Amino acid sequence: MTTPIIQTEHLSRRFGSLVAVRDISLSVDKGEVFGVLGPNGAGKSTTIRMLCGILDPSGGRGTVVGYDLATEAERIKERIGYMTQRFSLYEDLTVRENLWFYAGIYGVPWRQRKARVEEVLTRTGLQDRRDQLAGTLSGGWKQRVALASATIHEPPLLFLDEPTAGVDPVSRRDFWEEIHRIAASGTTVLLTTHYMDEAERCHRLAFIFKGELLDTGTPAQIVERRGLRVAELTVDDAEAAARSLGGHPEIDEISHYGHVLRLTTRGGADPAELATTLLGPRAIQTCHEARATVEDAFVSMARRS
Amino acid sequence: MRVLVIAWKELRQLRRDRLTVGMMVMLPLMQLLLFGYAINTDVRHIPTVVYDQDQSAASRDLARGLEVTTFYDLVGQVESYDEIERALRSGKAKVALVVPRRYGAELAAGRRAQVQLVVDGSDPQTVGSAINTAAALAAARTSELLVTRGPTVATGPRIEVEPATWYNPELRTAVFIVPGLIGVILTMTMVMLTAMAIVRERERGTLEQLVVSPVKNLELMVGKIAPYVLIGYVQISLILVAGRVVFEVPFVGSPGLLYALSFLFIAANLALGLFFSTIAKTQQQAMQMSFFFLLPNMLLSGFMFPIEAMPEPAQWLSNGLPLTHFLRVVRGITLKGADFSDLVPELYWLVGLLGVLVLAASLRFRKKVA
């Protein structure tokens, strides 16, 4: 077992009287795709900013790529890649100029710079658009260039802050393929997201809520630990059914998916049985048990915390 | 090395921003023509009426004498003081010449004759010129000028002054204004460009991207503003050449000295722009701040109005503006051929102000970015 690439102990950050992040202890292994989940304002970005060495922690400690967060922040910056929430390209520079600029900023030696930029252009399929202004690219392409810029210096650790916000599903899928390709080549990826389907694509997850770490583990572990069971029902009157089910202590959550009602229970109760008891067998047209997802676990945790 | 990469990027962006580049070139030229032609503090062609009570050859000669100076335009004859008042009040005339009866006879007899100049005191600049010119004219005709300003009548003391004007013998405004314009243009564009360049990166989110990179604050600051130093020098040269070609503004001193000392002034403005960029949240705010800063500069620096005439607190303020000192430098060098030793006091001021601004900007910049 090698040493983790990120390790923190009781990392905290206060802004005045507001505690943005409290006591976060986590460890991320090399080559992992690690997802940080949480609602807006939960402290995800603050955590990332501390891990990047641009925000000093007000408590706790940690190491990133082997350097201490508090004392060696500058060394960390050289060895990580970071893509901000909005893919911050220079829209009035061409694709190639953007890559060239970031290669220079991240200290890719001058002699290798040209070769590196060419290689990245070819690998990411950007050769045809090399001289196009970044501002004229579509969202998916912009994101590809941004990712290429953030990894131009081949960092061992890559941070992505909500990388897929506002990107269409097809581009998102391509993007995730690229992320796994990067991870397979040995780069650790830490990203934040609030798309739950993306969460399931991560090797491991951390749930942050109101500045605190609620749980960490593989998606399967997190779902299992929450102990949820799910049934999907179709009923005559979904609204009325939701009302009569609501408030029952064993029911964790009821949500509408079109004509389907999704019923989640906690503590082992069988949701199908519960529905039959509460609504009467005649009110239910179909009913079958479904797999609990990361989203179920996340909503459950967020609601009960 | 990173400084060069950032400067390269800045130049690339600038090259694509045709509008800004156009403005950088057109602004100095437009201002030059505007200030050079339109703003003219040499008062000429003052509308004048004549109340000739004497109606002699000598009195007519005097009136004609006024007109040939080109300072006065004779717009009519009047027959009474009431008419003079009406002419002044309506703005038809700003000056009235009153030639008393027996003016010609007194002169012919070899005695001192008196004429009266009634002037509209509500426009002090016109009045000043009017009195000076008339006095000179009267002296040439050995007649005594009696100036009436408003209700008080005063006989001016008869002091003979022989003025000698050095450096700008024809007292042309353009000669005075054009070198000053260098300072004003630089103040305007340097502050605005830097402030906007940095706020733009913050607005677009690219600044955050740079902050997480290994770029140091100093590298970022220097790299971003270095290209604008270049633009500053282009503007200086542009104004100097155009001023020479269009307005025949002389350049007596050492261009090398001017370019060297200009660096301090450009740097001070860039530092100020940097400082503004830490306060402004949008490019629009950055632009507004630059304009608000420009106004006191135009008024207090001595660009248009003499500092000596300002009340003392305004003079202190004026000393706090880099432009005030740069104007003395640029006018000193171009018009008077001042050398380094002449400009040492201004140099101290510029260095001091630059130091304060750089300190303030870098303190704020560090705090803001972290």
Same-domain pairing of B218 and B113:
no
Chain B residue nearest residue A79, CA to CA: B214
Same-domain pairing of A60 and A141:
yes
Same-domain pairing of B208 and B79:
no
- Please report, rounded to a whole number, the percentage of residues in chain A having pLDDT higher than 90: 30
Same-domain pairing of A166 and A207:
yes
pLDDT of residue A165: 78
| SS3 category, A210 | coil
**Structure token digits, residue B364:** 């704020």
Residue A77 contacts B, CB cutoff 8 Å:
yes
Print the domain residue range for A234. Answer: 223-304
Q: pLDDT digits over A59-69, tens only?
A: 888 999 999 98
Residue A127 DSSP class: G
pLDDT of residue B159: 38
Band (pLDDT 50/70/90 cuts) for residue A204 is very high
CA A114, A118, A165: angle at the middle one, nearest 5?
115
CATH number at residue A244: 3.30.70
**Rounded distance, CA A127 to CA A132, Å?**
10
Same-domain pairing of B58 and B118:
yes
**Rounded distance, CA B289 to CA B197, Å?**
14
Higher pLDDT, A70 or B366: A70
Among A173, A201, A216, the domain-final residue is A216
Same-domain pairing of A247 and A172:
no
Residue B347 has a CB neighbour count (10 Å cut-off) of: 16
**Rounded distance, CA B200 to CA B202, Å?**
5
Taking an 8 Å cut-off on Cβ atoms, the answer to whether A93 and B5 are in contact is no
pLDDT of residue B160: 42
- Please report, rounded to a whole number, the percentage of residues in chain B having pLDDT higher than 70: 86
Same-domain pairing of B308 and B190:
yes
**Rounded distance, CA A37 to CA A198, Å?**
10
A84: left (phi over 0), alpha (psi -120 to 50) or beta: beta
Check if the beta carbon of residue A36 is closer than 8 Å to that of residue A206. Answer: yes
For chain B, list residues whose CB is within 8 angstroms of any CB belonging to chain A.
1-2, 4-6, 8-9, 12-13, 16-17, 204-206, 208-215, 370
**Structure token digits, residue A193:** 């997201």
Out of A127-141, A232-246, B26-40, B147-161, pick the least confident.
Answer: B147-161
* B264 in a structural domain: yes
Distance in Å, alpha carbon of A35 to nearest chain B alpha carbon = 20
**Rounded distance, CA B194 to CA B211, Å?**
18
Same-domain pairing of A164 and A190:
yes
**Rounded distance, CA A66 to CA A156, Å?**
11
Same-domain pairing of B220 and B118:
no
Render A177-202 in DSSP notation, one character per residue. Answer: HHHHHHHHTT-EEEEEE--HHHHTTS
Same-domain pairing of A145 and A261:
no
Residues from chain B that touch A88, judged by Cβ atoms under 8 A, are 204-206, 208-209
pLDDT at A265 over 70: yes
Same-domain pairing of A164 and A43:
yes
Q: pLDDT digits over B155-196, tens only?
A: 433 334 444 556 666 656 777 888 888 999 999 889 988 898
Q: pLDDT digits over B45-65, tens only?
A: 788 899 999 888 888 888 888
| SS3 category, B307 | helix
CATH number at residue A166: 3.40.50.300
**Structure token digits, residue B99:** 């030639």
**Structure token digits, residue A240:** 């009325």
Among B104, B129, B155, the domain-final residue is B155
Same-domain pairing of B265 and B365:
yes
Is the ipTM higher than 0.95? The answer is no
What is the tally of structural domains in chain A? 2
Same-domain pairing of A130 and A147:
yes
Print the domain residue range for B237. Answer: 22-39+172-369
Helix (H) or strand (E) holding A96: helix A95-105
pLDDT at B148 over 60: no
Check if the beta carbon of residue B214 is closer than 8 Å to that of residue A103. Answer: no
pLDDT of residue B152: 39
pLDDT at B334 over 70: yes
CATH number at residue B137: 3.40.1710.10
pLDDT of residue B88: 83
- Single-letter amino acid, residue B41: T
Pick from A74, A88, A101: CB nearest B214: A74
What is the tally of structural domains in chain B? 2
Taking an 8 Å cut-off on Cβ atoms, the answer to whether A77 and B204 are in contact is no
Which residues, 6 or more positions from A170, have their beta carbon under 8 angstroms from its beta carbon?
A140
Per-chain mean pLDDT for chain A: 88
**Rounded distance, CA A141 to CA A125, Å?**
10
Higher pLDDT, A201 or B156: A201
pLDDT at A302 over 90: no
Residues from chain A that touch B210, judged by Cβ atoms under 8 A, are 105
Residue A294 contacts B, CB cutoff 8 Å:
no
pLDDT at B5 over 60: yes
Higher pLDDT, B366 or B87: B87
pLDDT of residue B116: 83
Taking an 8 Å cut-off on Cβ atoms, the answer to whether A88 and B212 are in contact is no
Same-domain pairing of A237 and A184:
no
Check if the beta carbon of residue B171 is closer than 8 Å to that of residue B42. Answer: yes
Sign of CA dihedral B119, B121, B122, B125: positive
Same-domain pairing of B271 and B221:
yes
* A1 in a structural domain: no
Same-domain pairing of A140 and A254:
no
**What phi and psi values does residue A287 have, to the nearest 5 degrees?**
-160, 125
**Rounded distance, CA A37 to CA A205, Å?**
7
Per-chain mean pLDDT for chain B: 82
Residue A304 contacts B, CB cutoff 8 Å:
no
Same-domain pairing of B108 and B82:
yes
Same-domain pairing of A15 and A64:
yes
**What phi and psi values does residue B262 have, to the nearest 5 degrees?**
-60, -30
Mean pLDDT on B80-87: 87
Out of A16-20, A94-98, B135-139, B308-312, pick the least confident.
Answer: B135-139
* B115 in a structural domain: yes
**Rounded distance, CA A240 to CA A286, Å?**
16
pLDDT at A234 over 60: yes
* A207 in a structural domain: yes
Distances (CA, A) of B92 to A153, A194, B77, B115, B127: 78, 78, 12, 21, 15
Q: Tokens 């106004």 map to which residue?
A: B295
Chain B residue nearest residue A153, CA to CA: B213
For residue A132, which of A99, A105, A109 has the smallest C-alpha distance?
A99
pLDDT of residue A36: 93
Same-domain pairing of A98 and A180:
yes
Among A191, A216, A241, the domain-final residue is A216
Among A185, A216, A247, the domain-final residue is A216
**Rounded distance, CA B298 to CA B34, Å?**
15
